[in-house]
Amino acid sequence: MNIVDKIVLQGEKEDEGKRIDVFLAAELDYTRSYIKKLIVDGLVFVNGKTVKPSYKVKENDEVVLNVPEAEKIDVLPEDIPLDILYEDDDIIVINKPQGMVVHPAPGNYSGTLVNALLYHCKNLSGINGILRPGIVHRLDKDTSGVMVVAKNDKAHISLSNQIKERSVFKKYVAIVEGVIKDEEGKIEAPIGRHPVDRKKMAVIEDGRYALTLYKVLERFKENTLVEAVIKTGRTHQIRVHMAYIGHPIVGDHVYGFKRQKFKLEGQALHSSVLGFMHPTKGVYMEFEAPLPEYFVRLIEILRNK
């Protein structure tokens, strides 16, 4: 059996007592049934040993999941333009456009950020396997903005540790439905897989700790421009949290209104600022990605309503 990807995770305090299949399904873009099959096939290790799907996760457990080859694939370099904000021998910081998938996945092996990076860079970190070289963190397909990619394993480990320690600064800008009355607020609600629709995330009692801080930047007739800083990096965190407080993001067809007033390609969510310690220079660096054109146009439309 050929292994195409190796994913390493660590159990946190809030994961104590969760079944290993539930834990992995909540963390990754795989169904619980697929995770279960990998566990039964002996492809999941906890602290170096295989386990059963019923194994209960403990804090600081090292969980390794080996992803087998599902079909013969070729992740090829593609000459796709990149908006590069910064680059050196260790990292490359890019402004990802809305509509670009970060890494290849079943049914989507071309046109991704990874394809573009393989063309542009001679080297990328191999820690995340051939499907996700250099990818330390992700942005959703329809979320634009700044993200960092590791060019070598040392940089990858350093950035991954900073993310685990929650020392990476992540600020987003979003346009949400409705008018938020408070000037600022805090959303502290656990996030996990939706109990019915496994493709979605939701605020659930036994989810993983998630904290979002938001501030109102501008109010419109029926919408609000907000700034959001995430202290944790849960899947779809801002989208889930804003929907949870009754203000889903405009253009979000998954967590937002079924009938959208504006013809957007996706949610009006932009990763505006990313800050971290440089892996080898040891200095704090912060990068900002300007708002994309569609976002600016939508703001002008809302101002003139």
What band does 107 get if pLDDT is binned at 50, 70 and 90?
low
pLDDT at residue 190, as a whole number: 94
142 & 34 share domain: no
pLDDT at residue 201, as a whole number: 93
The CATH number of whichever domain residue 55 belongs to comes to 3.10.290.10
103 & 60 share domain: no
Q: Answer with the residue of higher pLDDT: 49 or 3.
A: 49
Q: Which residue has the tokens 């049914």?
A: 107
Domain's final residue, options 11, 36, 68: 68
Q: Is 140 noted as a catalytic residue in this protein?
A: yes
pLDDT at residue 108, as a whole number: 67
32 & 122 share domain: no
Q: What is the mean pLDDT of the chain?
A: 90
What band does 249 get if pLDDT is binned at 50, 70 and 90?
very high
What band does 197 get if pLDDT is binned at 50, 70 and 90?
confident
Which residue range forms the structural domain that includes residue 41?
3-68
Residue 98 maps to a domain: yes
User: How many CB atoms are closer than 10 A to CB 184?
Assistant: 11
Residue 204 maps to a domain: yes
pLDDT at residue 128, as a whole number: 65
Distance of CA 260 to the CA centre of its chain: 24
Average pLDDT for 173-188: 97
Q: What is the pLDDT of residues 203-235, one digit of tens each?
A: 998 888 999 999 999 999 999 999 999 999 899
The CATH number of whichever domain residue 108 belongs to comes to 3.30.2350.10
Q: Which residue has the tokens 């903005």?
A: 145
Residue 73 maps to a domain: no
Q: Which residue has the tokens 């860079």?
A: 121
Q: What is the pLDDT of residues 119-159, one digit of tens each?
A: 998 788 776 666 677 888 889 999 999 999 999 888 988 99
251 & 157 share domain: yes
What is the number of structural domains in the chain?
2
276 & 154 share domain: yes
Average pLDDT for 27-55: 87
Residue 75 maps to a domain: no
Residue 19 maps to a domain: yes
Q: Which residue has the tokens 């021998």?
A: 89
Average pLDDT for 190-204: 88
Q: From the candidates 15, 61, 90, 140, give the one annotated as an active-site residue.
A: 140
Q: Under 8 Å CB-to-CB from 210, ≥6 apart: which residues?
A: 187, 188, 189, 190, 191, 230, 232, 234, 237, 240, 241
Q: Under 8 Å CB-to-CB from 128, ≥6 apart: which residues?
A: 5, 6, 7, 134, 135, 156
**Residue 62 pLDDT > 90:** yes
pLDDT at residue 30, as a whole number: 65
Instruction: Please provide the DSSP assignment of the chain as one string.
Output: --EEEEEEEE--GGGTT-BHHHHHHHHSSS-HHHHHHHHHTT-EEETTEE--TTPBP-TT-EEEEEEEP-S------------EEEE-SSEEEEEEPTT--SS-BTTB-SSSHHHHHHHH-S----TTTTTSTTBSS---TT-EEEEEEESSHHHHHHHHHHHHTT-SEEEEEEEEES---SSEEEEE--EEE-SS-TTSEEE-TTSB--EEEEEEEEE-SSEEEEEEEESS--TTHHHHHHHHTT-PBTT-TTTS-SS-SS--SS--EEEEEEEEE-TTT--EEEEE-PPPHHHHHHHHHHHT-
23 & 101 share domain: no
138 & 213 share domain: yes
150 & 295 share domain: yes
pLDDT at residue 68, as a whole number: 77
Residue 76 maps to a domain: no
What band does 93 get if pLDDT is binned at 50, 70 and 90?
very high
Average pLDDT for 60-81: 80
pLDDT at residue 160, as a whole number: 86
Residue 77 maps to a domain: no
Tokens matching residue 150: 């590791």
What band does 76 get if pLDDT is binned at 50, 70 and 90?
confident
**Residue 115 pLDDT > 70:** yes
What band does 28 get if pLDDT is binned at 50, 70 and 90?
confident
